[in-house]
Structure 1
Amino acid sequence: MTLKPLGDRVLVKPAPKEEKTATGLYISSGAQEKPQRGEVVAVGAGKTNEKGERVALDVQVGDQVYYGKFGGNEVKLDGEDFLLLRADDIYAIITE
Protein backbone atom coordinates (compact mmCIF):
# COMPACT_ATOMS: atom_id res chain seq x y z
CA MET A 1 0.00 0.00 0.00
CA THR A 2 1.22 3.52 -0.72
CA LEU A 3 0.25 6.77 0.94
CA LYS A 4 0.57 10.18 -0.75
CA PRO A 5 0.32 13.06 1.76
CA LEU A 6 -1.84 16.03 0.72
CA GLY A 7 -1.06 19.73 1.03
CA ASP A 8 1.63 20.49 3.58
CA ARG A 9 1.60 17.01 5.14
CA VAL A 10 4.72 14.84 5.46
CA LEU A 11 4.98 11.08 6.11
CA VAL A 12 7.86 10.21 8.45
CA LYS A 13 9.28 6.83 9.50
CA PRO A 14 10.26 7.33 13.17
CA ALA A 15 13.69 6.19 14.32
CA PRO A 16 13.65 3.13 16.59
CA LYS A 17 13.11 3.78 20.30
CA GLU A 18 16.22 3.89 22.48
CA GLU A 19 16.47 0.56 24.30
CA LYS A 20 19.72 1.29 26.16
CA THR A 21 21.13 4.28 27.99
CA ALA A 22 24.54 5.70 27.11
CA THR A 23 26.00 3.67 29.98
CA GLY A 24 24.54 0.40 28.66
CA LEU A 25 21.53 -0.04 30.96
CA TYR A 26 18.38 -1.39 29.32
CA ILE A 27 15.27 0.80 29.44
CA SER A 28 11.91 -0.90 30.06
CA SER A 29 9.38 -0.52 27.26
CA GLY A 30 7.10 1.56 29.50
CA ALA A 31 9.86 4.09 30.22
CA GLN A 32 11.04 4.50 26.62
CA GLU A 33 10.28 7.92 25.17
CA LYS A 34 8.70 8.41 21.78
CA PRO A 35 11.37 9.18 19.20
CA GLN A 36 11.50 12.75 17.90
CA ARG A 37 13.69 11.90 14.95
CA GLY A 38 12.90 10.12 11.72
CA GLU A 39 13.23 9.87 7.96
CA VAL A 40 10.90 11.58 5.51
CA VAL A 41 9.22 8.93 3.35
CA ALA A 42 6.74 11.05 1.35
CA VAL A 43 5.77 14.73 1.07
CA GLY A 44 2.67 16.55 -0.12
CA ALA A 45 2.58 19.19 -2.86
CA GLY A 46 2.85 22.07 -0.36
CA LYS A 47 0.64 24.87 0.95
CA THR A 48 -1.22 27.31 -1.23
CA ASN A 49 -0.60 31.00 -0.59
CA GLU A 50 -3.11 33.86 -0.83
CA LYS A 51 -2.67 33.99 -4.61
CA GLY A 52 -3.49 30.30 -5.00
CA GLU A 53 0.12 29.36 -5.86
CA ARG A 54 1.74 26.25 -4.40
CA VAL A 55 4.62 26.87 -2.00
CA ALA A 56 7.02 23.91 -1.96
CA LEU A 57 7.94 22.30 1.35
CA ASP A 58 11.39 22.66 2.92
CA VAL A 59 11.83 18.89 3.35
CA GLN A 60 12.37 16.19 0.74
CA VAL A 61 12.08 12.42 0.71
CA GLY A 62 15.13 10.92 2.45
CA ASP A 63 15.75 13.87 4.81
CA GLN A 64 16.46 13.04 8.46
CA VAL A 65 14.36 15.37 10.61
CA TYR A 66 13.51 16.36 14.20
CA TYR A 67 9.81 16.82 14.90
CA GLY A 68 7.57 17.73 17.82
CA LYS A 69 6.97 15.09 20.47
CA PHE A 70 3.19 15.36 20.34
CA GLY A 71 2.69 16.37 16.70
CA GLY A 72 1.15 14.33 13.94
CA ASN A 73 -1.00 11.23 13.70
CA GLU A 74 0.28 7.68 13.96
CA VAL A 75 -0.39 5.59 10.86
CA LYS A 76 0.23 1.87 10.32
CA LEU A 77 1.01 0.75 6.76
CA ASP A 78 1.89 -2.85 5.87
CA GLY A 79 2.69 -3.55 9.54
CA GLU A 80 5.08 -0.58 9.93
CA ASP A 81 4.50 2.53 12.04
CA PHE A 82 4.68 5.99 10.48
CA LEU A 83 3.75 9.54 11.50
CA LEU A 84 1.71 11.86 9.32
CA LEU A 85 2.83 15.39 10.25
CA ARG A 86 2.21 18.93 9.08
CA ALA A 87 5.35 20.56 7.72
CA ASP A 88 5.11 23.09 10.60
CA ASP A 89 5.56 20.21 13.11
CA ILE A 90 9.05 19.54 11.71
CA TYR A 91 11.63 21.64 13.53
CA ALA A 92 14.88 20.84 11.74
CA ILE A 93 16.62 18.83 9.02
CA ILE A 94 19.59 16.83 10.29
CA THR A 95 22.76 17.01 8.19
CA GLU A 96 25.98 15.21 8.99
Structure 2
Amino acid sequence: MAKRLIPTLNRVLVEKILPPSKTVSGILLPEKSAQLNSGKVIAVGPGARDRTGNLIPVSVKEGDNVLLPEFGGTQVKLGEKEFLLYRDEDIMATLHD
Protein backbone atom coordinates (compact mmCIF):
# COMPACT_ATOMS: atom_id res chain seq x y z
CA MET A 1 0.00 0.00 0.00
CA ALA A 2 1.48 3.35 -1.07
CA LYS A 3 1.39 6.18 1.44
CA ARG A 4 1.03 9.85 0.60
CA LEU A 5 2.37 12.43 3.01
CA ILE A 6 0.52 15.74 3.12
CA PRO A 7 2.35 18.36 5.21
CA THR A 8 0.47 20.37 7.84
CA LEU A 9 0.52 24.14 8.38
CA ASN A 10 3.41 25.86 6.57
CA ARG A 11 5.56 22.77 6.02
CA VAL A 12 7.00 21.71 2.66
CA LEU A 13 7.99 18.18 1.58
CA VAL A 14 11.13 18.24 -0.60
CA GLU A 15 13.01 15.58 -2.54
CA LYS A 16 16.68 16.49 -2.76
CA ILE A 17 18.17 16.83 -6.22
CA LEU A 18 21.47 14.98 -6.24
CA PRO A 19 24.11 16.48 -8.55
CA PRO A 20 25.60 14.11 -11.12
CA SER A 21 28.74 12.30 -9.98
CA LYS A 22 30.16 12.16 -13.50
CA THR A 23 29.81 13.99 -16.79
CA VAL A 24 28.02 12.62 -19.86
CA SER A 25 31.40 11.57 -21.27
CA GLY A 26 32.19 9.57 -18.10
CA ILE A 27 34.57 11.93 -16.26
CA LEU A 28 34.15 11.56 -12.49
CA LEU A 29 33.41 14.84 -10.71
CA PRO A 30 34.82 15.58 -7.25
CA GLU A 31 32.23 15.97 -4.49
CA LYS A 32 33.25 19.60 -3.92
CA SER A 33 32.18 20.55 -7.44
CA ALA A 34 28.53 19.94 -6.52
CA GLN A 35 26.67 23.13 -7.35
CA LEU A 36 23.72 23.93 -5.12
CA ASN A 37 21.91 22.28 -2.27
CA SER A 38 18.61 22.07 -4.09
CA GLY A 39 15.44 20.04 -4.16
CA LYS A 40 12.06 19.61 -5.80
CA VAL A 41 8.89 20.43 -3.87
CA ILE A 42 6.70 17.31 -3.68
CA ALA A 43 3.87 18.57 -1.44
CA VAL A 44 2.97 21.68 0.57
CA GLY A 45 0.76 22.34 3.55
CA PRO A 46 -2.13 24.83 3.44
CA GLY A 47 -0.20 27.54 5.31
CA ALA A 48 -0.08 29.01 8.80
CA ARG A 49 -2.44 31.45 10.50
CA ASP A 50 -1.46 34.89 11.77
CA ARG A 51 -2.57 36.31 15.14
CA THR A 52 -5.91 37.45 13.71
CA GLY A 53 -6.66 34.05 12.15
CA ASN A 54 -5.92 34.97 8.52
CA LEU A 55 -4.32 32.20 6.46
CA ILE A 56 -0.79 32.94 5.25
CA PRO A 57 -0.26 30.63 2.25
CA VAL A 58 3.00 28.78 1.63
CA SER A 59 5.30 30.68 -0.75
CA VAL A 60 6.23 27.68 -2.94
CA LYS A 61 4.11 25.19 -4.89
CA GLU A 62 4.42 21.56 -5.90
CA GLY A 63 6.98 21.08 -8.67
CA ASP A 64 9.10 24.14 -7.75
CA ASN A 65 12.87 23.69 -7.59
CA VAL A 66 14.15 25.32 -4.42
CA LEU A 67 17.42 26.26 -2.75
CA LEU A 68 17.74 24.56 0.63
CA PRO A 69 19.81 25.47 3.69
CA GLU A 70 22.96 23.41 4.19
CA PHE A 71 21.59 21.97 7.44
CA GLY A 72 18.09 21.37 8.75
CA GLY A 73 14.91 19.70 7.66
CA THR A 74 13.42 16.54 9.05
CA GLN A 75 14.20 13.32 7.18
CA VAL A 76 11.17 11.28 6.16
CA LYS A 77 11.32 7.88 4.47
CA LEU A 78 8.35 6.68 2.43
CA GLY A 79 8.92 3.28 0.89
CA GLU A 80 12.38 3.33 -0.68
CA LYS A 81 12.49 7.12 -1.17
CA GLU A 82 13.85 9.67 1.28
CA PHE A 83 12.45 13.18 1.59
CA LEU A 84 13.03 16.24 3.77
CA LEU A 85 10.35 18.25 5.56
CA TYR A 86 11.05 22.00 5.93
CA ARG A 87 9.11 24.97 7.22
CA ASP A 88 8.27 27.44 4.46
CA GLU A 89 10.45 30.15 6.01
CA ASP A 90 13.51 27.82 5.97
CA ILE A 91 13.49 27.53 2.17
CA MET A 92 15.97 30.07 0.85
CA ALA A 93 14.84 30.65 -2.76
CA THR A 94 13.17 29.18 -5.82
CA LEU A 95 15.35 28.24 -8.78
CA HIS A 96 14.36 29.07 -12.36
CA ASP A 97 16.01 28.19 -15.67
Establish whether residue 19 from structure 1 lines up as the match of residue 17 from structure 2.
Answer: no
Report the counterpart of residue 62 of structure 1 in structure 2. 63
What are the ranges of 5 or more consecutive residues in structure 1 without an aligned counterpart? none
Show the counterpart of 1:83: 84
SS of the aligned residue for 1:88 comes to helix
SS of residue matched to 2:89: helix
How many pairs were matched up? 91
1:3-57 deviation per Cα after TM superposition (whole angstroms, max 9, x unaligned): 0100110000101254248xx33547xx8x8x72010000001111111111111
TM-score, normalised with respect to structure 2? 0.82
Give runs of ≥4 in structure 1 deviating > 6 Å.
none
Match for 1:8 among 7, 10, 19?
10
Name the CA shift for 1:42/1:73 in 2 (closer, same or farther; >3 Å).
Answer: same
CA RMSD of aligned residues (A): 2.1
Residues of 2 paired with 1:4 and 1:36: CA distance? 23
Q: Structure 2 CA distance, aligned partners of 1:27 and 1:20?
A: 9
The Cα of 1:87 is off from its aligned counterpart by 0.7
* Aligned sequence identity (%): 37
